Amino acid sequence: MSDTADGMDPAVKQTSAELATGVDTDTILKTEGITKRFGGLTAIDDVDFDVEAGELRCLIGPNGAGKSTLLNLITGALSPSEGEVYFRGHDITEMDPHERIRRGLSIKFQVPSVYEDLTVRENVRLPIQRLASGAERDERMADALAAAGLSAKADVAASALSHGEQQQLEIGMAASLDPDLLLLDEPVAGLSVDERAEIAERITQLNEERSIAFVVIEHDTDFVAEIADHVTVLHQGETFREGSIEEIETDPEVQRIYLGGETDA
Amino acid sequence: MATDADSAGVLGRFVDAIHGPNTMGESRRFWAAFGVVALLMVTFPLYMLESAVTNMSQYLALTLLALSLAVVWGFTGVLSFGQVAFFAVAGYTYGIVGINVAGPLGTMAGLFVAVGVAALFAAVLGYFMFYGGVSDVYVTIMTLVVVLVLKTFLDQTAGDKWTIGEAALGGFNGMPGIPDLALGIGEPFLVFDDFTLFYAALLALLVTYLGLRALLNSDYGRVMVAIREDEDRTEMLGYDVKRVKLTVFTFGGALAGLSGVLYVTYFNYISPSELSLTAASLPVIWVAVGGRKTLLGPIVATVAIERLGLFLSVNVGDWAFVINGLLLLVIVLLLPEGLVPGLRDLVSWIGDRRDEGGTDDTTEPSGEVIE
């Protein structure tokens, strides 16, 4: 009746898994031959995707390339048809999403998923109340509100926030879990230039000051160029290219798949 | 949050615990009104006929059934038609134990066993549903099917074959001779019938109401509401959504079971008609009409709808169902959030018009959004 899988000591498990798999500790996330089929459609086909600790990685690709599916396989929202996912050296392929989150993974969904009927303060409280209580909780909530630029709107219902503020709020909630790796699915879609700049600054700051590694799905190449060290291009469910933003931007094959008949975003 | 509670230790902490964004009623005016209603209820037997008092005990017992659904559906988002199954299972279990084990010890044991069996039933059903990946509307359908299967089974339990000790399940005729709940060892020193049952039900309701206010405003209650609002987001904040749903569902089963025990001690009888389609939908109606995201709404609506049903069936016979049904439809269409939130909004609207920007006494800031 109780979920027996929970309550294990991550540190112990991690060490034994490292010995078993030989994954080096700088690699925070690793997928091995991960494949996801929906009936006859192969959305993700044998992808090996590695992220280093503290890295800021962008994941790009035309619509339908499998970017969101890959994130869902990493968080456990979907289970793979084949392959494994390792996080901090431990095989998490069979774990429920909340167990992965407790090990240091966090995600901001594509559509802003804040609790619309709750106040901004209650939204921020939910991730933090699991980790801290008393004065520490109050302090962390105040910090999270300030970082999201929403201190003045703490008692407003989240549904009353603008789209950009909701994105900031959800990034703030995801970041307040103190993750080692934060997955962001299109954090600046539909935002103004100013709002994009704010989000870019926020991501860079979280990455540099708190050494959070990022995987960011984004279409906007200017935005990608502003934040990313390293870019992975997915195409038709497979890893198409990996490299620096300069290499990717000037790669004629990448330009071809973006322009060549695919519906662009 | 009008609590000058910091001064008063344990009481202060209790006052803090029962206030928060997930329940309505924060102001002094609310608690004054609450006190008046409580006083009216405590003195109810002084100014009402005995029949009205005993009827009220029955309604009070049913408010616990309504609250069990409010917790499961209204606050955690799991729409269950199965609350009457836990209610009836507890009623039958109490009857079997109470009939077989003579004296007050038997009835006290019956109470605990019955509530335990109801909780266990809910836990087993909940486990297979939530861990089996059943969600949303399929939970609703499955719980309804469980009720109807249980009814079909109990309907055919007539005859000696279906006798447990001295307790005959009795098929669709039901199980008579269920003893009153009593306290004591050997000789009972307190038997819950008529007036005493009224006070027992009233006390159970008061304790449940205040306890649920504390639960819903706790960290755990906030997770329950978060699951109602967005299951995926909550799982992705690191909460074990399945386990929370199972726990809440089990607790709801226990509360429905307590309601069932109080209810069968009122009639000293239970039958499978408690598991009819109409019976299964009544808690949903009480909760929807009263306001599913509140605790007061289901309580008020249960008493009002049951009392109205009695009045109508006395005065207009079979038309009672039609009139009652139409009233419910009108209320749900006009006030989709329910009667009590509708009234609350009305009161705060009148308050706003009377004193523009004056004392904020009727609602708290987030009260418009959630309650």
Smallest Cα distance from A189 to chain B, Å? 19
pLDDT at position A261 is 46
CA nearest neighbour of A89 among A196, A199, A12: A12
| For residues A10-19, average pLDDT | 43
pLDDT tens, residue by residue, B135-147:
889 999 999 999 9
pLDDT value, residue B146: 97
User: What is the average per-residue pLDDT within A94-112?
Assistant: 94
Task: Answer whether residue A19 shows pLDDT above 60.
Answer: no
Residue extents of the structural domains in chain A? 25-111+180-259
Q: What is the mean pLDDT of residues B299-316?
A: 91
Of A8, A25, A223, the C-alpha closest to A103 is A8
User: Tens digits of per-residue pLDDT, A133-152?
Assistant: 999 999 999 999 999 999 99
Residues in CB range of B214: below 8 A, 6 or more apart = B14, B17, B18
> Is B13 part of the contact surface with chain A (CB cutoff 8 Å)?
no
Determine whether the interchain pair A155/B127 forms a contact, defined as Cβ–Cβ distance below 8 Å.
Answer: no
With contact defined as beta carbons under 8 Å apart, do B129 and B139 qualify? yes
Q: Inspect the interface and report whether the beta carbons of B229 and A97 lie closer than 8 Å.
A: no
A138, two tokens: 């109050």
Is the predicted pLDDT of residue A246 greater than 90, yes or no? Answer: no
Give chain A's mean pLDDT: 87
Q: Please identify which residue in the block is written with the tokens 């329950």.
A: B224
Asked if B227 is an interface residue toward chain A (Cβ–Cβ < 8 A), one would say no
A146-150, A232-236, B235-239, B322-326 — which is least confidently predicted?
B322-326
pLDDT of residue B3: 45
From B74's Cα to the closest Cα of chain A, the distance in A is 14
Q: What is the pLDDT of residue B8?
A: 67
How far A130 CA sits from the closest chain B CA (Å)?
A: 8
The pLDDT, as a whole number, for residue A7 is 41
| Residue A230 and residue A58 in contact, taking contact as beta carbons nearer than 8 Å | yes
Q: Which residues of A touch B230 (CB under 8 A)?
A: 113, 115
Which of the four pLDDT bands, split at 50, 70 and 90, describes residue B367?
very low
At residue B108, does pLDDT exceed 80? yes
For B187-207, the pLDDT digits (tens) are: 888 999 889 999 999 999 999
Indicate the fold that domain A25-111+180-259 takes in CATH.
Answer: Rossmann fold (3.40.50)
B 287-306 residues inside an 8 A Cβ radius of A: none
Element (H, E) at A209: helix A193-209
Given a cut of 60, whether residue A8 has pLDDT beyond it is no
Enumerate the residues of chain A whose CB falls inside 8 A of the CB of residue B229.
Answer: 115-118
Across chain B, what does the average pLDDT equal?
90
Contact A98 B238 (CB under 8 A): yes
Question: How many angstroms from the chain centroid is the CA of residue A166?
Answer: 16
CA distances from A38 to A81, A236, B44 (A): 9, 14, 64
Q: Closest approach of chain A CAs to the CA of B21, in angstroms?
A: 9
Of residues B70 and A12, more confidently modeled: B70
Q: How does residue A75 score in pLDDT terms, banded at 50, 70 and 90?
A: very high
Between A102, A113, A126, which is nearest B222 by CB? Answer: A126
Q: A117 contacts in B (CB within 8 Å)?
A: 229, 369-370
Return the SS3 of A28. strand
The yes-or-no verdict on residue B363 having pLDDT over 70 is no
When pLDDT is cut at 50, 70 and 90, the band that residue A14 belongs to is very low
pLDDT 10s digits, B253-273: 999 999 999 999 999 999 999
**pTM of the full structure:** 0.89
Residue B356's pLDDT is what?
64
| CB atoms A125 and B222 under 8 Å | yes
Q: Does any CB of chain A come closer than 8 Å to the CB of residue B28? A: no
What pLDDT does residue B7 have? 53
Least confident interval from A84-88, A202-206, B190-194: B190-194
Look at B237 and A6 and tell me if their CB atoms are within 8 Å.
no
Given a contact cutoff of 8 angstroms between Cβ atoms, the answer to whether A29 and A89 are in contact is: no
List the single residue in B219, B237, B370 with the smallest CB-CB distance to A118. B370
* A126 to B226: CB separation less than 8 angstroms, yes or no: yes
B114-171 pLDDT per residue, tens: 999 999 999 999 999 999 989 889 999 999 999 999 999 999 999 889 999 999 999 9
Confidence of residue B357 (pLDDT cuts 50, 70, 90): low
Question: Quick one: pLDDT band at residue A260, thresholds 50, 70, 90?
Answer: low
H/E stretch holding A206: helix A193-209
User: Which residue of chain A comes nearest to B242, CA vs CA?
Assistant: A3
> Would an 8 Å CB–CB cutoff place B244 in contact with chain A?
no
Nearest CA in chain B to A170: B233
Give the range among A116-125, B268-277, B309-318 with minimum mean pLDDT.
B309-318
Highest-confidence segment of A105-119, B4-18, B73-87: B73-87
The predicted pLDDT at position A25 comes to: 56
What's the Rg (C-alpha) of chain A? 19
* B198, two tokens: 């009224």
- The conformation of residue A153, written as its DSSP 8-state character, comes to G
Residue B54 one-letter amino acid: T
Rounded average pLDDT over B173-189: 90
Element (H, E) at A213: strand A213-217
Radius of gyration of chain B from Cα atoms? Answer: 21
